[in-house]
Amino acid sequence: MDRAARAGWRRRHLACFCIWFSLCAISLFGTKERTGRVNLFPRLRAGQTLTYQIAYHSDKRVKTESNVSAAAPGNASKLDTSALLRLKVLGVRATDARAVIQARATVEIFDTDARYQIPNGESSTPKVQEPVSAGKFVEFTILSDGRLDQVNGLSAFLPAQQQAWREWADRFLLAAALPAGAVLTQKWTSEVWETSPSPIAGLRWTRESTYVGDEPCHAVVLTERGDATAGDAEAGMCAVILTNATLKQDSKVKNATPKDFKLHDLRTTGSAGGSNRIITFVSLETGILIRATEEAVQQMDVTVAKADGSNRVHYNVDAKSHSAVVMVSDIGLKNPR
């Protein structure tokens, strides 16, 4: 596939993302009422395979000031990634209405377009990554409470593959981590520590999920050209889960230094915050993720200096991202390259 064709594939893919996001947003205003409890844990079987299309876009802007360079130039970066994740279920051990699941996933990156702004104001040449798989995979266990365990092989993936896998895992397991026996309008709250490297210590996400209703849903068909189209199969019903998450900081603004920064004789001050909005469609029949979208906004204002206060550098970061994970039937996908 030449550069023009790759760009066309990416535009179609991102257009598909926008369509699915609009459908998700619209559906929240027409949910059907139903009584009774449902099981939203994925009911998988050994040997089963699933395929998901993943689109991820991020836009980050960073302003930098330091006492070495009074007005260091700012920089910006944009990333568009399109990928296919193929999941194979290796084993299932039932535990009442839930199970412990061993699985393997491969991730093929169709297109990664990264643009970085350089000091003269122009954009660098887009870096387009060819599809990669090379037989690499990640094996993992899904516990009965929806947590991941024994994740092996992820470090061998390229960064774009790791990002795609994490986007899928977060969306696939969101409903699985909710308490059993969900009912309409039920709300759940939870907290999780932010594990990504950060110059701000003590960051945690508070999350509230609401079962807002049921909607018709089905996987889409991915054609040889990479177009996502509606399939002929009759639509099933999905539980719609709306999740709002807020990033909170437990460390003090005047002393926000993480342990790894202290080991390098560094001190940080500042604050970080953010919010995520996630819409998840989960099959009522199988508990399997059908599609999900996420919109995220994060900010950080931090100063990094030596422990004695010298060599201070101030960073102001604004980042936005959106992602979509959609189950696809790839019967028409012979060679996406």
pLDDT at 126 over 60: no
pTM of the model: 0.79
- The domain ranges of the chain are 3-329
| Weakest mean pLDDT among 110-119, 146-155, 172-181, 240-249 | 110-119
Q: What is the pLDDT of residues 63-87, one digit of tens each?
A: 988 765 544 445 668 888 899 999 9
Question: Bridge partners of 290?
Answer: none
Spatial distance between the Cα atoms of 65 and 160, rounded to a whole number of angstroms: 29
Q: What is the pLDDT of residue 29?
A: 42
Q: What is the pLDDT of residue 96?
A: 78
Give percent of the chain with pLDDT exceeding 90: 57
Q: What is the pLDDT of residue 123?
A: 39
Predicted confidence band at 197 (pLDDT cuts at 50, 70, 90)? confident
CB 53 within 8 A of CB 228: yes
Mean pLDDT of 127-139: 62
Q: Are strands 220-222 and 313-329 parallel, antiparallel or unpaired?
A: parallel
Q: Hey, what are 98's tokens?
A: 């839930």
CB 95 within 8 A of CB 121: no
Spatial distance between the Cα atoms of 188 and 274, rounded to a whole number of angstroms: 20
Q: What is the pLDDT of residue 25?
A: 43
Between these two residues, 283 and 37, which has the higher pLDDT value? 283
pLDDT at 133 over 60: no
Between these two residues, 328 and 195, which has the higher pLDDT value? 328
pLDDT at 146 over 70: yes
Predicted confidence band at 134 (pLDDT cuts at 50, 70, 90)? low
Q: What is the pLDDT of residue 283?
A: 94
